[in-house]
Structures are given as structure tokens and as C-alpha cells.
């Protein structure tokens, strides 16, 4: 019986291989994984081996039911990031995610985190913060980066030497561009880009939103801000999927969309601006799958018969109308 009791006290979990224990830790949040370092000397440095580092201040505070951003809370949070990125001996970081919209984090500290992640071969960056990045950040010359997701108030000042040779996914949420060159430089510096998404981006500083790329396969544009004076140019010979949910901009140019197999066009009604929306359909008229919202259909047909692209009239074989109402239905 004594031998059986003794065996029950053996810590079999701690005897597992590092790879198994780090796999277990991967199911915890990064901050929770760090806390396991106090369990024993065996666990003290295991969190250093985690390939994915993800910090979300708002989510952490919500989980703890903390409603105010005190200096102590923020400093403790930033020290946790410091410990993971600056003071650990982990050689590789697969993903670094950081979400914090308050302005108490200095740009120097933030830049140091990004530099450390890049130095350790980060492949996936997911950043959402009010800290304004500088154009000298190594984020724009990271050779290992595969996906880049930027959100919430970034203003992209892209340097001339931008080079992201392995980037395939680019998602921009609520970011702004310093000028037209920022867009051109960013896309030209990503030779293997395949997937691009812009959502609620501020186009107020640019006049030509020029998306030109020879390998781009999927493109989604959603709800841009301050785009009424902007021209949208799309030149993507390998593009297979285009989704466009937005108001009319100043003008459109659709070129070399010969590989397109799916297009979803949803143009919001806009009474203050009447751009020629039919130019959108000229570039996608050979698309075998075309989905139009009610307002998009109105824009496409509002200039019959002289302005509707002939390809829509001659190649269109099937029309499906849903949720149809006539004027009688609208009379209250």
C-alpha cells in the first residue's frame, strides 16, 4: 500500500518531453502559459519554446473583468511582452500577434518588439495597435514573413527598399496610406502575393489606389473611407476571385482580369456621387460567376442601352432575381 501511495505522487506530466509539454501550453493564452513558469523548475522556461506569441490586452482585461487601464496594469502587460520577445532564448517565432489600442505604449518599445520578432524569423504578424510604426521598421524587409495583418489606425509609410519575398497574405483593416507611392511600393515589394484584403481603409491621402500584381489570386475590398476622389485601378492577370463591397469611387479601371472565375459586386447607394459604374463590369464580363447586389444591378442598368457593356447583353444566359418588390409593395 505504501508503494502504491508513493507511485501516485510521481509527477508524470513533468516527465514528458518538451515538445509534448509545449504542445499542451499552446492551448493556453500566452499570458497563461507564462504563469506556468512558477509551477516548478521543470516548467520555468518551457514557455520560451512556444512558437506562437499572442497578446490581446482588451481580451485579457475583459476576461478579468477589469474596466480601467491603470498604469500598473499596462506596465505589467508590456513586461510580459518584453519577457517573451526580448529576454527569452527562443530561436524561432512562427507568429507574433499583438492587439492593444491604447496610447500608453511607446513607439520605441513597440519597434523593439517587432525587431525582435523579425530577428527570430517570424512568419505571421498580426498587429492591431494605435502605435504609429516608422518607415524604418524591419517589417518591410522581413524575408521570412508569409502573412501580414495590420489593423486599427496604422498609417503606412512604406520605404523605397521594401522587400517581402515570401509574403503571400496581406490583410489591412482600418489603415491609411501616406500617399500613392505607399500602395505601389508595398505591392511591388511583395512578388509572391496571392491574397489581399482591405477593410475600412482610409484612402483620403491617395488619388490612385493602384492594385497591380501578376500573381494575385484573391482580392477583397470592403467599405473604404474618404474614397470619393480616388480612382481604383485593378490589373491582375491571375486574379480568380474579386469581392467588392463599397460606395462608388471617382472612377474605375479593370484590366487583365482574364483568369477571373468569381466576382461579387455590392455597390452601396450614393446620391452625392454619380461615377460611371459600368466600367467595373467591362473588366469582368467574361466571369462565369457574377453576384450583384440590388444597388449594384441598378448601377449596371441605369444607363441602358448605350452604356451597358455589350458582353453583358450578348453573353448573359441566366438571371436569378430574389426578394423582388415593385412600386405597389412600397406604397404604405
Residue 67 CB-density burial (10 A; 0-12 exposed, 13-18 middle, 19+ buried): exposed
The CA-atom distances, in angstroms, between 122 and each of 144, 147, 232, 254 are: 6, 10, 32, 35
pLDDT in tens, 154-193: 778 888 899 999 999 999 999 888 889 989 999 999 999 9
pLDDT in tens, 269-303: 555 444 556 677 776 766 666 676 655 555 555 56
223: alpha, beta or left? (left if phi > 0; alpha if psi -120 to 50):
left
Distance CA 68, CA 242 (A): 42
Domain ranges across the chain: 18-50, 51-287+311-322
The pTM for the full model equals 0.78
The number of helices, as runs of H, and strands, as runs of E, in the chain is: 11, 15
Q: Let me know the angle formed at the C-alpha of 40 by 37 and 45, rounded to the nearest 5 degrees.
A: 40
Q: Which fold has domain 51-287+311-322?
A: 3.80.10
DSSP 36: G
Amino acid at each position: 500500500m505504501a508503494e502504491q501511495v508513493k507511485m501516485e505522487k510521481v509527477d508524470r506530466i513533468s516527465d514528458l518531453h518538451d515538445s509534448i509539454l509545449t504542445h499542451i501550453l499552446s492551448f493556453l493564452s500566452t499570458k497563461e502559459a507564462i504563469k506556468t513558469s512558477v509551477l516548478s523548475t521543470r516548467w520555468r522556461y518551457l514557455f520560451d519554446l512556444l512558437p506562437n506569441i499572442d497578446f490581446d490586452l482588451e481580451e485579457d482585461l475583459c476576461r478579468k473583468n477589469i474596466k480601467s487601464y491603470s498604469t500598473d496594469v499596462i506596465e505589467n502587460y508590456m513586461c510580459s511582452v518584453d519577457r517573451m520577445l526580448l529576454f527569452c532564448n527562443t530561436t524561432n517565432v512562427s507568429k507574433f500577434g499583438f492587439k492593444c489600442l491604447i496610447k500608453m505604449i511607446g513607439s520605441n518599445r513597440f519597434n523593439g518588439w517587432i525587431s525582435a520578432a523579425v530577428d527570430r524569423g517570424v512568419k505571421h504578424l498580426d498587429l492591431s495597435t494605435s502605435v504609429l510604426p516608422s518607415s524604418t521598421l524591419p517589417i518591410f524587409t522581413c524575408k521570412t514573413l508569409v502573412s501580414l495583418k495590420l489593423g486599427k489606425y496604422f498609417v503606412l509609410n512604406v520605404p523605397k527598399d521594401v522587400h517581402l519575398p515570401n509574403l503571400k497574405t496581406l490583410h489591412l483593416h482600418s489603415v491609411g496610406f501616406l500617399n500613392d507611392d505607399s500602395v505601389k511600393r508595398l505591392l511591388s515589394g511583395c512578388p509572391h502575393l496571392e491574397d489581399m484584403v482591405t477593410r475600412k481603409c482610409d484612402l483620403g491621402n491617395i488619388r490612385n489606389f493602384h492594385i497591380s500584381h501578376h500573381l494575385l489570386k484573391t482580392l477583397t475590398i470592403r467599405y473604404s473611407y474618404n474614397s470619393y476622389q480616388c480612382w481604383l485601378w485593378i490589373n491582375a492577370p491571375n486574379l480568380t476571385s474579386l469581392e467588392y463591397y463599397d460606395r462608388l469611387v471617382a472612377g474605375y479601371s479593370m484590366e487583365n482580369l482574364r483568369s477571373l472565375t468569381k466576382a461579387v459586386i455590392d455597390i452601396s447607394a450614393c446620391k452625392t456621387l454619380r461615377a460611371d459604374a459600368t466600367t467595373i463590369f467591362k473588366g469582368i464580363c467574361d466571369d462565369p460567376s457574377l453576384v450583384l447586389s440590388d444597388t449594384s444591378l441598378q448601377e449596371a442598368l441605369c444607363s441602358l442601352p448605350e452604356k451597358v457593356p455589350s458582353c453583358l447583353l450578348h453573353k448573359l444566359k441566366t438571371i436569378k432575381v430574389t426578394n423582388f418588390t415593385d412600386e405597389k409593395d412600397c406604397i404604405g
